[in-house]
Amino acid sequence: MKSLMDCYKLNNGVQIPCIGFGTWQTPNGDVAVKAIKEALALGYRHIDTAAGYGNEESVGIAVRESRIPREELFITSKLNNPDHGYDNTMRAFEETMKNLDMDYLDLYLIHWPNPLKFRDCWQEANAGSWKAFEELYSAGRIRSIGISNFHPRHIEELLKTATITPMVNQIRLCPGDTQDEVAAYCKAHNILLEAYSPLGTGLVFSSSEMQALADKYEKTIAQLCIRWSLQMGFLPLPKSVTTSRIKENAEVFDFELSKEDVKLIADLKGICGLSKDPDKISF
């Protein structure tokens, strides 16, 4: 990967830009619109949102105001936890498209495999949602479909009724939190791993080990994290609303971490905390 325009190829042949601009915890409104427009102006072409983030409208506004042709962008959204099941998913998808004011999505994900509302029937609920995903995909409404926060046991259940294998699994991946079992499973099944919270929601900046590496490479800790994610074969989704940091997070193509330092970063267990158990979330 040599620039923001470089892409991974999904298992259905669709090209996905190698770094996405994350919008989790960015409030809907002027702040989100401004940040997304600045990211697009700086060369980002991949925007990640979700119904649960509450900012799909801002993504749509920013895309329209950028005047960048829609076909040059890659837009992801996610199914909200209360909306699992076939009928709910169909309704939720239409609401997402209304919020975005777009004709199609490039990627649609089931956000969590086992939300509280469906704790006693999550397998059936996911199967219904995936059936809707497959129909929307076949109809050309979505260019690629995937999952988020799924562990192998959840994927195996999904594949019992699925006719299309997920193209993406978006999970928390950051220094010291590499979810090795999930990552190995996805790589074996040609499911691309997207890394949300690649900076550990800010916890990584307290690491003396990461600061030492930043000094060694003469880069920021954030740049190290994003470069590390790429070298691990992940697709990072850094988020910021600060112009200088949005720009900084894209400047990761002019250096390379040694294999030893890639491993060192991966082995810093717990410096950013650990991922939630998707079977125990309370939302």
Catalytic residues: 53
Enclosing H/E stretch for 261:
helix 259-266
What secondary structure does DSSP assign to 121-148, as a single string? SHHHHHHHHHHHHHHHHHTTSBS-EEEE
Q: Are strands 192-196 and 74-79 parallel, antiparallel or unpaired?
A: unpaired
How do strand 168-172 and strand 192-196 relate by DSSP bridges?
parallel
Our CA dihedral for 76, 63, 86, 235, rounded to 10 degrees, sits at 0
Report the greatest alpha carbon distance in the chain: 54
| One-letter identity of residue 227 | R
Q: Which two tokens stand for residue 255?
A: 């250096």
Tell me the two tokens of residue 259: 């294999």
With beta carbons less than 8 A apart as the criterion, state whether 129 and 121 touch: no
